[in-house]
């Protein structure tokens, strides 16, 4: 594989333009899209319907899945910064649901959490409407019974393009997931003991809903993958042989300074925006794997797994565009005394059942934080348990200040909405709250949030 030809010039930005290499045939990994009902180019207005459908994963018999508009994953909503998104949502499922717009800064009433809206009953509708303030990759999913509803297939993607995007030869959205299937194609019991403890991990790895996926690349192309992990519990620790990824962005958009890595750890709900030069030998497959990662309870002792085959198309290698070396400025939020101490832990309740706690309480008994609007607050999140928890804050980004008292590296400044807090680790981060309402924070292992590891922040 070619070395990355990184321009030493400072900024390699250009106006937003579609990738210059056309994808030959319809790509099985292409995500579905929805018809735009609005003629205004700055408004995307769609009908979104949660409904059951049949889907075949690999060679397993057909599975009855839960979908947005018939597909798993759901559709890709493609918009640009400043656009308005209007979603006419209908629930055709046999149980209530809501739609949460993960990572999107929006009015609290549109956030889809049960703190701010009533569940949409079967047959019911809800109108979501908000303006996209940030460029980045976001996703949407239910915010009730998430351990079941997301596992059954309810997850879609929002891609928000900024006014300045890197020039690349090829770009792709990669939705990582797994699903646990019985031989007859049905879902086994949801809350078995291992799933309760670790979050449910599937026996079938999915890339954009496809089992045993092959990801086509153009040989030698400057390739951008925009990765989101929608799995309930699985952490993907990605490796592509001989490739170093340039991480150019994460949850809240571009990084000020890209960095290089040969392993990309993506916890549930996190997003990473990476660039690399695709292998240049045509028709030579390489394996994208997930390497062992210890997130507690000996989970790191397992073998690597294959996530997908990466196959250069049968065309001549191209000369890749130079990769960008720097992006936008990010305003660094100030450090300060801890306002919000949060301890994550696990325990047992009166009935002897495993529960997940925040400050010793199981949601909804966790005391909410009360905050004045337009204030900056420092969190201290102490993970007292033995396993990692991906911490998610609704509606706002946060920046890491410290890990176990060690200041965060200055060159890794990032706006995050989901971050791994490793077991027995304490982090400090800072967030600016400028939107009133009730907002959730929780672990994004869905079995953990449903098991009690969730709290509220009231901004007034």
Nearer to Cu ion, 206 or 355 (CB): 355
Query: CA–CA separation, 396 vs 340, rounded Å?
Result: 15
CA 385 to each of CA 65, 193, 340, 380, 381: distance values in angstroms, whole numbers, following the listed order: 33, 17, 19, 15, 12
Residue 171 vs 251, nearer CB to Cu ion: 251
- Residue 445 Cβ, how far from Cu ion at the closest point, in Å? 4
Report, in Å, the least distance between residue 233 CB and Cu ion.
9
Cα–Cα distances (Å) from 378 to 111, 243, 252, 400, 429, in that order, read 23, 37, 18, 10, 6
| Of 391, 379, 402, residue with least CA distance to 269 | 391
User: What is the C-alpha to C-alpha distance for residues 50 and 53, in angstroms, rounded to an integer?
Assistant: 10
Distance CA 372, CA 380 (A): 18
Strands 425-433 and 437-443: unpaired
Annotate 90-129 with DSSP letters as a single string: EE-SSS-B--EEET----GGGS--TTTS--B-TT-EEEEE
* 44 vs 443 by CB, closer to Cu ion: 443
Tokens of 106: 């929006």
Q: Tell me the HSE value of 9 on the side-chain side, using a 13 A CA sphere.
A: 7
Question: Minimum distance from CB of 116 to Cu ion (Å)?
Answer: 23
- If you count DSSP H runs as helices and E runs as strands, how many of each does the chain have, helices first? 3, 33
Under the phi-then-psi rule, with left for phi > 0, alpha for psi from -120 to 50, and beta for the rest, what region is 152? alpha
What is the closest distance, in whole angstroms, from the C-beta atom of residue 297 to Cu ion in the complex? 12
Residue among 117 and 229 whose Cβ is closer to Cu ion: 229
Residue 226 or residue 389: which is nearer to Cu ion going by CB? 389
Instruction: Pick the closer one to Cu ion by CB: 126 or 441.
Output: 441
Q: What span, in angstroms and rounded, lies between the C-alpha atoms of 362 and 453? A: 6
Least CB distance from residue 293 to Cu ion, whole Å?
15
Residue closer to Cu ion (CB basis): 321 or 392: 392
CA distances from 340 to 381, 416, 434 (A): 8, 17, 17
Residue 302: how many CA atoms within 13 Å on its side-chain side? 19
What is the closest distance, in whole angstroms, from the C-beta atom of residue 197 to Cu ion in the complex?
A: 10
Question: CB of 204 within 8 A of CB of 231?
Answer: no
> Nearer Cβ to Cu ion, position 83 or 450?
450
Of 226 and 448, the one with the shorter C-beta distance to Cu ion is 448
* Nearest CA-CA partner of 357 in 233, 439, 456, 449: 449
Least distance to Cu ion, CB of residue 348, Å: 16
Q: Which residues bind Cu ion (CB under 5 A)?
A: 389, 443, 445, 448
Nearest approach in angstroms of CB 389 to Cu ion is 3
Instruction: State the nearest-atom distance from the C-beta of 356 to Cu ion, in Å.
Output: 6
306 to 288, 296, 309: CA distances (angstroms)? 6, 21, 8
Which CB sits closer to Cu ion, 197 or 207?
197
């Amino acid at each position: 594989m070619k070395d990355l030809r990184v321009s030493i010039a400072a900024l390699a930005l250009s106006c937003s333009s579609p990738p210059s290499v056309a994808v030959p045939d319809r790509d099985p990994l292409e995500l579905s899209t929805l018809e735009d009902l609005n003629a205004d180019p700055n408004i995307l207005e769609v009908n979104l319907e949660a409904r059951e459908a049949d889907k075949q994963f690999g060679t397993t018999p057909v599975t009855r899945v839960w979908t947005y508009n018939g597909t798993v994953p759901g559709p890709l909503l493609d918009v640009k910064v400043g656009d308005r998104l209007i979603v006419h949502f209908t629930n055709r499922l046999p149980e209530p649901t809501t739609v949460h717009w993960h990572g999107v800064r929006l009015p609290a009433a549109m956030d889809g959490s049960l703190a701010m809206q009533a569940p949409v009953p079967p047959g019911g509708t809800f109108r979501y409407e908000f303006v996209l303030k940030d460029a980045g990759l976001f996703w949407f999913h239910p915010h009730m019974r998430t351990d079941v509803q997301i596992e059954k297939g309810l997850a879609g993607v929002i891609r928000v393009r900024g006014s300045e995007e890197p020039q690349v030869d090829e770009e792709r959205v990669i939705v990582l997931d797994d699903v646990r299937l019985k031989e007859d194609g049905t879902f086994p019991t949801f809350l078995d003991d291992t799933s309760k403890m670790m979050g449910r991990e599937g026996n079938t790895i999915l890339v954009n809903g496809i089992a045993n996926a092959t990801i086509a690349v153009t040989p030698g192309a400057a390739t951008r993958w925009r990765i989101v992990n929608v799995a309930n519990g699985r952490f993907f620790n990605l490796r592509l042989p001989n490739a170093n990824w340039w991480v150019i962005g994460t949850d809240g958009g571009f990084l000020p300074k890209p960095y290089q890595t040969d392993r990309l750890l993506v916890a549930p709900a996190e997003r990473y925006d990476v660039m690399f030069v695709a292998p240049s030998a045509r028709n030579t497959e390489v394996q994208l794997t997930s390497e062992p990662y210890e997130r507690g309870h000996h989970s790191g002792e397992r073998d690597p797994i294959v996530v997908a085959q990466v196959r250069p198309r049968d065309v001549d290698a191209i000369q890749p565009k130079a990769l960008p070396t720097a992006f936008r400025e990010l305003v660094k939020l100030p450090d300060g005394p801890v306002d919000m101490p949060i301890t994550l832990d696990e325990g047992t309740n009166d009935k002897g059942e495993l529960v997940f706690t925040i400050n010793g309480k199981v949601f909804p008994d966790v005391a909410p934080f009360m905050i004045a609007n337009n204030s900056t607050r420092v969190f201290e999140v102490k993970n007292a348990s033995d396993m990692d928890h991906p911490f998610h804050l609704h509606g706002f980004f946060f920046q890491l200040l410290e890990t176990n008292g060690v200041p965060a590296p200055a060159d890794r400044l990032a706006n995050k909405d989901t971050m791994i807090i490793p077991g027995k680790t304490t982090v400090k981060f800072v967030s600016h709250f400028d939107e009133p309402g009730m907002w959730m924070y929780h672990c994004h292992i869905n079995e953990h949030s449903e098991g009690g590891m969730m709290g509220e922040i009231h901004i007034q």
